Structure formats: C-alpha cells, structure tokens
Structure 1
Amino acid sequence: METLSPAAVAAATPATRNRVVDLLRVGALTVVVLGHWLVAAVVVRDGRLDAGAVLDRASWTHPLTWVFQVMPVFFLVGGYANAVSWRGARERGVAWPEWLRGRLRRLLVPVVPLLLFWVGLLVVADAAGVDRASLRTASQVALVPTWFLAAYVVVCALAPLTLRLWERFGWASVVGGLAVGGVVDLVSLTVGPWWVGFANYVVVWGAVHQLGYAWLDGRVGGTGRRLAMAAVGLVGLVALVRAGPYPVSMIGLDGAAVNNSYPTRVTLGFLGLLQGGVVLALEPALRRAMSRPRAWTTVVVLGRRMMSVYLWHLTVMVLAIGGSLLVGGFGLGAEPLSGAWWTTRPVWWLVLGTLTAGVVALVGRFEDVRRTAGRVAAWRPVAAAVLGCGGLGVMAARGLVGREGLSWWWAILPVLGVALVSPGPRRPRG
C-alpha cells in the first residue's frame, strides 16, 4: 500500500474537511505533552532523586489548569470525528462491528510497542535487582497517558448509541449526561462506594463527546451561542468549586481528598462546556489560519504521528531522568520553581522533544494502520474494547509493578484485544 507524503496529503485535502478539527486535536495533545514535561518538579540532591509535581508545590498554579487541562477539547473533537465516521459508515452499509474494529485498530495498535517495551524493560530491570519501588513509580508515571485511551475506547464504542440519543433528544442528551454525572459524584462522595465515581469516565466524557455532535450539526452556531456555552461552563464550574468538595485544580493532586480527574468528576464536564465554547468561538479565525498551505501541512505532519508522541512522551522523560541519575544527576540540579529552574524549562522541552522525535521515528509507523474489510463477529470488537479498556485503565492507575512483583499481564490484555481485531494473513494471489 503506497503511503502519500504529508505534503501530498495536505494538497489533496477535500474542501469539505473541517481542518479546525485536526488543528484542535494536534493542539490539545501538544499542550498535554508540554504540560506533563513542565509539571515534573524533579531535582537531584547529593545523588538522590526528589521527584514531585509543580501543582503539589505551588497552589498558585491550580487555576491555570482550567486552561491547560485540555482533554475536554480532545473529546469534543472526538465527538465530531466519530459522528462523521459513523454516519459515513452507515451510508456505505458498514455494520457497527466492522466500524468499531477499524476504530479500535487505530486506537490500540500504536500502544502495542509501548506496552511490549515496558514489559521487556521491567523484566530485565527486575532480574538485575533494580529496586521495585522505583520500577513501580517509573512504570506508573510512563503509562499515565493510557487512562485517556481506556476512557476513549468505551466512548468510541458507544458512539453509534450516543449519536442516536443526540439525534433524538439534542441538547437534552448533554444536560442529562451532566446530571447523571452529578448523581454519580454525589453517590461516590457520600454514601459510596467511592469506586462508583469511575462511571463518570464514560458518563461525563460522553457528555463532552456529545458537544462534538452539536458542533457538526450546527446546533451551536454563531459566536454568541458559543460564548454563552462557555459562560454556562464557567458559572457551573465556579459554583461547583465554591460550594462543593471539588478542588480548584482540574488535574489530580497527590494526597488530595477529592480529585477532579481521578476518577473523572462532573466538574470536567462543565470545563468541557467552557473550553468548547471558547475554541468554537475562535473557529472562524482558526479556519482562516488553516487555509494557508504551510500551516495546514504542518498540522498534517504532526497529526500523522501525534498519537505516538502522546503515548511515548512520558516514557522518554522517565528514561531521561534515569540516564541523568547514572551520570550523577546531570541537568537536574536546579531547584524546582527557582529562577534557574524556570530559565532551563525551554532547554528541558528541547531535549525531551528531540528524544521523543527520535523514538517516534522508530515506532510511528504503527500509526499507519492498514484498513480492514469484510464482516467480523460482533464479539471480537466488543471483547477487544473490554480487554483494551481494562488493561489500559489498570496500568494508568497502578503501573506494571505491584507489591508482590511484576504485574506484566495487564499489558498483555490490550495486545490480545489488538489480536482479536487484526485481519487474518493475506492470501497469495494466483
């Protein structure tokens, strides 16, 4: 199968494509990557590593997370893209199992090399006698990005159902989702059990996903309506933070009694309204920017490998920190939040960005997923979604090292899921 160059892809883009969708996807993931690298408050003192997070050290950074916690933008974009994809599939007569197989392959295949890398690394490091507490922390930090895939796999699998709800009930489906999310929080934070809150990974993110349907169908047209949606999100978010148990930070804090992101709380749904309203109000300007060939080609180039960047960026950071420790903490001597620390952040980004680009050059081809055709038994993509969501969710929370030793089998579950939705071997012609 011939692969077109990014320039050729950009030049061949149909006029009907909403390029802002691609721009927001690339922009959101870029903010996540740079944000993760920035919040790592890491310093080496007398040969010993002190690792923390800027958010835990400086409370003044918490309001900034209302801007930099951009996963709501990605779910907004996901709703738009999934609606376009599923409606196109329906018109071509493609059934849900075949459609879901294609979506799952695009989501799960790129994560396979990351999981196999960490299983191999941990097995070797554990056999070499490396401290298991350090391995647990390293794998947990590196695999944090998989939480998004765990949630998105389920939201994507349910897209045909949620799109039908949108087509029948419109904005009531969004309001209903946020209301259910609030009830889930109420139960989780009061009568319990606390793990009921994990339902909001689907309920709240599903409600934000519905905003993408509204965008596609022109149900949030005009700058006035979009700013009104942002205002509703802002007022709701402020009210929840002031009157409820929710912290200001939209990103999780170590040791906090309540976190907005673990598990997902209804606050992130209102953040989705706020951020969605703002970025959609900017859509006309963003469309004009994307009409420029050079700008659009840049988005195409980044977009083709952005999932690999997202999946590997924390692994690169963990390995860079480990390499620094081997040479006495070189480059990690600045005290977090000091003037010297802030001054060196661009260098920190440059080093990690260069290393990540090198890794992506090796593994990025896994994003070039071959299209599949033909019928598939429904149980296969359903089982793949369950295996993918379960394995990725556990790894995002716990890493791959438990108190009893390595828990490598969690990494195997998504790999098995990929196997279930992979096409069979090609038959030779002739």
Structure 2
Amino acid sequence: MMWNKAREMAQMTPPERNRWVDFLRAISIMAVVFGHWLMAGLYVDDAGALQRGDLIETSQWTHWLTWAFQVMPVFFLVGGYSNSVSWQGTLRKASPGQTGVYRDWLAARVQRLIAPTFPVLLVWAVIAVVLTQLGFPRDQIRMATEAALIPVWFLAVYLLVTACTPLALRAWKRFGWVSFAVYVPLVLGVDYLRFAYGVPYISFTNFLWVFLAIHQLGFAWQEGRFKSPAIAGLWFALGLAVLVSVTVYGFYPVSMVSAPDGFSNSLPPTFALLALGVVQVGLVLALEPLGRRMLDNLRLWTATVLMNGMIMTVFLWHLTAFVLVMTFVWIALGGIGLSSVPGTGEWWATRPLWLAIYILATLPLIGIFARHERTFTPIRGGRTVPRARAVAGVLLICIGLGCTAGITIASPEGITGLRIWVVAAPFVGAALLGFGPIYRPSKAAE
C-alpha cells in the first residue's frame, strides 16, 4: 500500500524537480542509521556482565569508514538547496507589504522537522518514569535514553542553520564564494582557541560555523555553480588533499566521530569535519549528472519518494529499535548472540543477521509513527507567530533538543527520574511557534 502511494506520487513528479536532492537526503540519513547500528555494540564478557562496546575503539581500521558514514554535511548541503528554493518561492508568492512572511516560513519549516520528534520524546519520557518506579538502576536508564535520543542533537543545529537562511542567502547573493570562505578562518580560529588555550565552550560555536559553511554550498548548488562535474571534481580533490593533510599527517584524528582518546571531530565539529564536508560535496555533485539519469528509473525514484516520506521517522527511531532489540535479547533470551566482542571475525560474520533484525524492529515503529511526518497545523498570518514568540520558540526547541542529546532526559535524582524541563522545552517552543500537541490557538487567530 505504501509503495503504491509512493509510486503515484513519483509518477506526478514535475520534470523540473531535481531528484538528486531527494536521493541525497535519503541516502545520507540511511548512511547515518547503518553507521550507528554498526558502531554501537553490546557484548557479554567472560564474567557474564553486559558491556558497552564501540567498534571505533576495538578496530582502528574502521576509523576510515567514518569518512563514508559521517554524512551529516551532505544533509546540510541538501538543506541549503531546499531552504533556498523554499525561501525564494515564499518571497515570490508574498504580497507587497505583507508582514510575518519570515516568521510563518520559519514556523512551517520547523514544524516539518520537529513534529515527528514529539512522539519519540514522549515515549522515552514514559519509559524513563516507568523504569524508575520499577526500581531499575538509574545509570542503566540513562544509558538507554542517551543511546536512543542522541540523534536529536542534529535537529537543534539544523533548526538554527535554517533560521539563518534569509541572511545567509542574502550574503551569498552579494558576496558569492566569499560567504563560504569566511567560515574557514572562523572554524580554524575556534579550533586554535580550543586546543592551544583550552578556551571553554567556544568549540560549540563550530556547530554553526561548520554547517553554515556547507549550507552556503547548497545555495551555490541551487544557483548552478556546480553544474560542471569538473568543478565539483576540483572541490573533491582539493578537499581530499586538505583532509588527508590535517588528519593522516596532521593534528586531527582520522575518525570523523569519536576516537579512542575521547577526541571527536563531530561533537563538536572541527576543521577536519569541514574538510570532509567539502570532499563529500565535491563527490556527490560530480556524480549528479549520472545520478539524475539513474533516477529516471521509476522503481528507483519510487523508492526514493517512499524513503523521503518517512525519513525523519527512520532517523529518530532507529536507535530505539536497537535499544529494544538489545534489551529483549539480554533480559528475555539471556544474552544469546552477544558473546562476540565488536570488531572480531565472529562479530563481523553475524552483522548481516543483526542488521536484518534491527530493520525488522524498526518497521513497526515506522508503521506507527510515520504519520506524524504528514500531520501539520496550518500556520496562518504573521499575527499567529509574533516575532518575540518565534525567536523564543526556536530557542526553546533547540535548547530542549540539545539538552536531550547532551545530558539526556533521565535524571539521576528525583521521584520521577525525569528531567521534565528538558522534555517540556520543545513542546513549549512549538506552541509559541503556533503548532504542536499543547498549542491552543487564540480566538483572534481563529
């Protein structure tokens, strides 16, 4: 049924649509999903205790795999392209002198991204409270909620970058490539202050600088600046030269996620991740002509449409499926199949089976929660989303999601075992923007 509906939508696709954009969005999220499923691993040690394994720590050669699986830059490239098309389209449709255009546009963009997040936050809030009342160790509850909800950090950053779209696009129109280049010394300066002088917290600003830079390249793509595969190939080659220089022969680790010494190129981002982003941008845009011809195939394009219709659900719930599978195997089946340490030959031999199990566990979650990607509250008129409320709403959502990934919703103390304010922040922020489960429109708005 879902396939047939996706096929109907695929057949109605206007010829001017760039299908490569949708394909990259789907493939980048799927790379993240399978990367998480491969990297995280639980195993039972010789003493019969459940241990948390990490493939990056046990197998150094897998650090190179992160250059393929850490594809968040591709998602921000696609975001720059899509936000450019959406914002410019909104401006063309706006009436002369119309107020609240940006506020309503931002609220609509935020809603599409955040609406699917509400169910996963609520479900894990209930799980945390119930397990606390049942007397489960709080460190185990924290580990489970942290593992399931850590992907939401990306949403907080993406929202902030999206909110900057009008100013960033204006900078692109006026300054062109300079509007990208300006972020390079910014990122390098932050890394210098972080590593040379140990300046606290400044590293977190690179969440903006790195991904705003890649977002600018999305504007360039949409404007046709990468139309020639040769230009994209040049970006790939230069980016790769820089990346190899700063990792293999330089200061930064090869791994683009966590490294055994605790150094992460992603949390927060570093100049190495920006270089990887340039490599990935060059590669995927050099492949665009071939990819667009490939997507003329109706079956492949239908699969892309189907995946894009549930993309946030898959992203938000895939680690919940992992946690549920591991919990069931450990508690109900006595840890069967968890005897191999991540990175060993036996562990690799069983990966196809485990990946199939994770997929099967994710499918029911998609069936239940994917509808939230298609349920929206109409955002009407600037009066519905006043400026102060819009700013407060976006900030509250970002704070809530950032804290969900950073400190988790599980509390080490208190009766409920829940950081209620962390869970509540995105819901309150959404209500301020004019949508969400707790939003109640005023009579004036009605």
TM range (shorter): over 0.9
Shift in alpha-carbon separation, 1:369–1:160, aligned structure 2, 3 A: farther
For each residue in 1:345-374, what CA deviation from the matched residue of structure 2 results, as whole angstroms up to 9, or x when unmatched? 111111111111111110111100324332
Q: Which residue number corresponds to residue 407 of structure 2?
A: 398
Q: Which amino acid aligns with 2:283?
A: V
Q: Which runs of 5+ in 2 are unaligned?
A: 95-99
Q: What's the CA shift for 1:35?
A: 0.9
Q: What's the CA shift for 1:84?
A: 0.4
Q: What's the CA shift for 1:11?
A: 1.2
Q: What's the TM-score once normalised by structure 1's chain length?
A: 0.94
Q: Which residue number corresponds to residue 44 of structure 1?
A: 44
Q: What's the CA shift for 1:380?
A: 2.4
Q: Which residue number corresponds to residue 31 of structure 2?
A: 31
For each residue in 1:3-54, what CA deviation from the matched residue of structure 2 results, as whole angstroms up to 9, or x when unmatched? x932221111111110000000000000110110011222124542111210
State which of 188, 209, 223 in structure 2 corresponds to 1:217. Answer: 223
Mapped contact 2:28–2:75 kept (Cα < 8 A)? yes
Deviates more, 1:369-378 or 1:89-98: 369-378
Q: Which residue number corresponds to residue 86 of structure 1?
A: 87
Q: Which amino acid aligns with 1:418?
A: A
Q: Which amino acid aligns with 1:415?
A: F
Give matches, 1:57-96, under 5 Å.
57-93=58-94, 95-96=101-102
Shift in alpha-carbon separation, 1:189–1:388, aligned structure 2, 3 A: same
Mapped contact 1:246–1:259 kept (Cα < 8 A)? no
Q: What's the CA shift for 1:229?
A: 0.5
**Distance in 1, Cα, partners of 2:336 & 2:389:** 49
Q: Which amino acid aligns with 1:281?
A: A
Deviates more, 1:327-336 or 1:274-283: 327-336
**Distance in 1, Cα, partners of 2:177 & 2:27:** 27
Q: What's the CA shift for 1:344?
A: 1.4
Q: What's the CA shift for 1:63?
A: 1.6
Give matches, 1:250-329, under 5 Å.
250-253=256-259, 255-256=261-262, 258-327=263-332, 328-329=334-335
Give matches, 1:336-351, under 5 Å.
336-351=342-357
Give aligned pairs, total.
423
Mapped contact 1:200–1:265 kept (Cα < 8 A)? yes
**Distance in 2, Cα, partners of 1:425 & 1:330:** 52
**Distance in 2, Cα, partners of 1:345 & 1:163:** 44
Q: Which amino acid aligns with 1:292?
A: N
**Distance in 2, Cα, partners of 1:54 & 1:91:** 49
Q: Say yes or no: does 1:408 pair with 2:420.
A: yes
Mapped contact 1:177–1:204 kept (Cα < 8 A)? yes
Moved over 4 A (4+): 423-427
Q: Which residue number corresponds to residue 420 of structure 1?
A: 432
Q: What's the CA shift for 1:244?
A: 4.5
Cα root mean square deviation, aligned: 1.7
Q: Which runs of 5+ in 1 are unaligned?
A: none
Mapped contact 2:54–2:342 kept (Cα < 8 A)? no
**Distance in 2, Cα, partners of 1:194 & 1:246:** 19
SS of 1:144's partner is: helix
Deviates more, 1:51-60 or 1:231-240: 231-240
Q: Which amino acid aligns with 2:296?
A: S
Q: Which amino acid aligns with 2:19?
A: R
Give matches, 1:124-203, under 5 Å.
124-203=130-209
SS of 1:36's partner is: helix
**Distance in 2, Cα, partners of 1:318 & 1:255:** 25
**Distance in 1, Cα, partners of 2:411 & 2:197:** 29
State which of 199, 204, 220 in structure 1 corresponds to 2:210. Answer: 204
